[in-house]
Amino acid sequence: MMNELKNKVALVTGGARDIGRAVSMKLAQDGAAVALNYFDNPNDAQETVRMITEAAGKAIAVQGDMTKTEDVERFVSEARKVFGDTIHILVNVAGGLVGRKTMPEMDEGFWDFVIALNMKSVFLVTKAALPHFADGGAIVNFASQAARDGGGMGAIAYSSAKGGVLTMTRGLAKELGPRKIRVNCVSPGMINTTFHNTFTKPEVRQRVAAMTPLGREGDAQEVADLVHFLVSSRSSFINGESVEINGGTYFV
């Protein structure tokens, strides 16, 4: 059911590369005007915008740190300036592991940064977008399989933040229900992205893929397809849910 999202405006944080890029492109392909945020790689962001516009889609890229109120407000303001006052879709992709540190290795600054990047960012962007959000819209947050199983060694801060995103999603689903705004999240497992290229050893990836019932890692496009489903009318009675996408390595 393509072009269901025509005339709708979507915000995608962390929308320049990997899963964020795939999500931005998928929503644009279905007709949404996409404002994507990026932090420190304008080349990736402009490439994503180019790919969307060359396919006859609409997109802009806005630089900003989604842990900073002023940057978040500028992101929302730029989207409204270009695409109109009303926001229909928000996808909070921005986040990251930052580094693997065990409890003895962590200091307070590292903990605060990881929590802010992964959880505070969801709070700030959602809060800034909601005054302009259409009733009946949809929000998709990104948690992680780590929120369920604690993650790999050195991922305590990251998994704790993603667990917070799960809980925030459920609370928002109840709070925004009267406005018919659905709030869900996706919890990816091992997906072939820069994240695992950076933080997961090749032998660990191979072992996890081999242990997965489907025998492989996931792909960013598969996650984007799930996000698209969750913002579409096909998921109109799904609310406050976390959809696991891990090939069967973990069940809720």
Q: What positions carry a catalytic annotation?
A: 158
> Among 186, 193, 103, 105, which Cα is nearest to 146's?
186
Are the beta carbons of 59 and 36 closer than 8 angstroms?
A: yes
Q: Looking at the DSSP assignment, which residues form a beta bridge with residue 10?
A: 34, 89
Number of H helices, E strands in the chain: 10, 7
Task: Tell me the HSE value of 148 on the side-chain side, using a 13 A CA sphere.
Answer: 18
Are the beta carbons of 148 and 106 closer than 8 angstroms?
A: no
> What backbone phi and psi angles, to 5 degrees, belong to 57?
-95, 175
